[in-house]
Amino acid sequence: MRWEVNMTEGNFVDYVKMHVASGNGGKGSAHLHREKYIQKGGPDGGDGGRGGHVIIRGNSNLWTLVHLKFQRHMKAGHGAHGSRGRSTGADGEDVYVEVPLGTVVRDSETNDILFEITEDGEERIVVEGGMGGRGNWHFKNSVNQTPRYAQPGIPQEEKDITLELKVLADVGLVGFPNAGKSTLLSVLTSAKPKIADYEFTTLKPNLGIVEYRDFQSFVMADIPGIIEGAAEGKGLGYYFLRHIERNSILLFLIPADANDHIEQYEILVDELRRYNPEMLDKERFVVISKSDMLDDELKTEVAAILDKNLETDYMFISSVAQQGLTELKDKLWKMLNV
């Protein structure tokens, strides 16, 4: 069975702001028991129900926040009031906000990170429902045997939050615009990214499933192309750097027709370091793309330069000519499963 994940610009939403509100707690009851032949039955007011929570829940079947794009307000149900016979009011209905794995939840006012969702089914309460008030039977004592008061419920919580998706992919493609990332993704996976001969063809990440032997697979992400100054937010650097934080392997693509392969690689690595030095701890692999443009003599010359100056493994491939792709998948699978 073949399955596909194709996230293109139109339906890839990775940033959503919303207002969330929990439910009020129900009021406790101040009821006094009255029954035929029982004139002084005493207090029997029940507790109010808890207000509903707003809960963020991870869903591994989601790859984008597009389903929340126009859902900017989430409000949980209020707790019901307590009643006679020590009956507790019903709890307010909880509201669940389903998000893809890799979603960071921030407080919009302070920009502080509240938590991150990384596992399927993981649930985190973003605003708690108010506790229900206690009924008057709790307050009966030897001094006051007929209390005529009960607690009100705790009011709801409200908060403005920002949901920010950082792509969780096994392999992230790193390179300058026009390095051939979209083309490689299109031939290795079922994804259909936009491909053209101009800068920033990819404006937002594209995800694809790379099928491997024995029905195994891994996820590859084509990240927007990086330029010098991306760490300062130039070009589309913000999208690039934010999404690549969550990739297991960084696959650097350097086009064969680059003026200086080593210089391009060093610029890319330097942008990663300036944004977040921890990204340099990830596994790296370099591919020289569009290598069908090189004859054997040129390829030997380029290989000699790479052997001398590159600290990581590399490989020559051509997505268009279908050269080296099987070997590349073997290499990536081995790196992912060491």
Annotated binding site: 175-182, 200-204, 222-225, 289-292, 318-320
Binding residues for Mg(2+): 182, 202
Q: Check if the beta carbon of residue 287 is closer than 8 Å to that of residue 174.
A: no
DSSP H or E stretch at residue 73: strand 73-75
DSSP 249-296: EEEEEEETT-S-HHHHHHHHHHHHHHH-GGGGGSEEEEEEESGGGS-H
Binding residues for GTP: 175-182, 200-204, 222-225, 289-292, 318-320
Q: What single-letter DSSP state applies at residue 77?
A: P
Q: Check if the beta carbon of residue 208 is closer than 8 Å to that of residue 219.
A: yes
Structure tokens at 231: 């760490």
Neighbours of 336 (CB within 10 A): 14
User: What's the residue count for the chain?
Assistant: 338
> CA 144, CA 134: separation in Å to the nearest integer?
16
> CA 104, CA 39: separation in Å to the nearest integer?
59
Burial profile 75-99: b = 16 or more Cβ within 10 angstroms, e = fewer = bbbbbbbbbeebbbbbbbebbebbb
Per DSSP bridges, beta strands 73-75 and 15-21 are parallel
